[in-house]
Amino acid sequence: MSNTRRVTPQQKKAVAERANGCCEYCRSPVRYAIQPFSVEHITPKSRGGETALHNLAFSC
């Protein structure tokens, strides 16, 4: 899998659904957030992290 691949809309949706509306780090609910949540790489691409569901997190 290429490390230059961007997160697809399907991956964003899957990660958000898996997170059940909460930040996967601090568990803060998205409904109380001022800024929109993002989907980020847990292990950065610059360190060899893949753009795959197991390496993506829903984050506040």
Q: Please name the helix (run of DSSP H) or strand (run of DSSP E) that holds residue 15, with its range, or none.
A: helix 9-19
- pLDDT at position 4, please? 56
- Enter the pTM of the model: 0.84
Is 26 within the bounds of a domain? no
**38: pLDDT strictly greater than 50:** yes
- Looking only at Cα atoms, what is the longest distance across the chain? 35
Is 29 within the bounds of a domain? no
Is 17 within the bounds of a domain? no
Is 52 within the bounds of a domain? yes
If DSSP states are collapsed to H, E and C, what string results for the chain? CCCCCCCCHHHHHHHHHHHCCECCCCCCEHHHCCCCCEEEECCCHHHCCCCCHHHEEEEC
Domain enclosing residue 42, as ranges? 1-8+36-60
Number of domains, the chain:
1
Tell me the mean pLDDT in the region 10-18: 97
